[in-house]
Amino acid sequence: MGLSIAWNQIDIIMFDMDGTLLDLAFDNFFWREVVVKTWATEQDVTHEHALLTLTPIFKQQEGSLNWYSLPYWSDLLGLDLQALKIQHRDRISLRSGVQPLLETLRNHGKILWLVTNAHPQALAIKLEKTGLTSYFSDIISSHDFGYAKEQTGFWQSLQQQKPFTPARSLLVDDSESVLHAAHHFGLHVLGIEQPDSLLPARHNLHYPAISEWSEFIHELQNSLIKNR
């Protein structure tokens, strides 16, 4: 993994949700197939026409808070996306090794925050399905701050409302643009090589990244043993 962090100097570990703790295959399936198919049916157009129409509309909001907002897209598309997510929630799944990872970190005294761009509607559905809530001392949605994690304003607002020391904090996230914003703010950062289990692992990422959570646990334990 090649992550040069003195783990005994890290107090808070912030985890992204989708693509980091949860398999991004669900969200890709939901937006690329379920939403497009449902909209095509409602508009009485072909799937191909719907895909050609919606793709640039989605792209225009990428990286903004609207990109992650179920109410925004529900209003724009005329669909009940919250109901659609509930309908397909059986596809929501944790990435392999997540629960042992979080348990190990808590046993080592690390403070765990869930820091996500997911809208509270989607967040509630996923937390209920996965049972992740109990692992985290704080669960933070960027929608409560008015900025997406890709934006510096989010990190400034987060620090004002929930004081933390960036140099003693680590963010784990599958989005390189989010990692860039957090790194610029002074946090240690770690990426994810394969956010979607159905797609190939990504290579040539700008920031250090892992493929399996067992790597993370192994490096954490070795580092803490060396620094006793």
Asked if residues 192 and 172 have their Cβ atoms less than 8 Å apart, the reply is yes
Average pLDDT over residues 179-192: 96
The number of angstroms, rounded, from the C-alpha of 114 to the middle of its chain's C-alpha atoms is: 9
Average pLDDT over residues 163-176: 96
Summarize pLDDT for 19-71 with one digit per residue, the tens.
Answer: 999 999 999 999 999 999 999 999 999 999 999 999 999 999 988 899 999 99
Q: Which run of H or E residues covers position 182?
A: helix 176-185
**Residue located via tokens 């009485």:** 44
Both tokens of 210, joined, read 């892992």
Band of residue 1 on the pLDDT scale cut at 50, 70, 90: very low
From the number of C-beta atoms within 10 Å of its C-beta (0-12, 13-18, 19+), residue 109 rates as: exposed
Instruction: Map residue 45 onto helix, strand or coil.
Output: coil
For the cut 60, the answer to whether the pLDDT of residue 2 exceeds it is no
Contacts of 166 (CB under 8 A, 6+ apart): 159, 185, 186, 187
Taking CB atoms within 8 Å and a gap of at least 24, the contacts of 6-9 are 6/223, 6/227, 7/108, 7/219, 7/220, 7/223, 7/224, 7/227, 8/223, 8/224, 8/227, 9/168
Summarize pLDDT for 195-207 with one digit per residue, the tens.
Answer: 999 999 998 899 9
Both tokens of 66, joined, read 């609207």
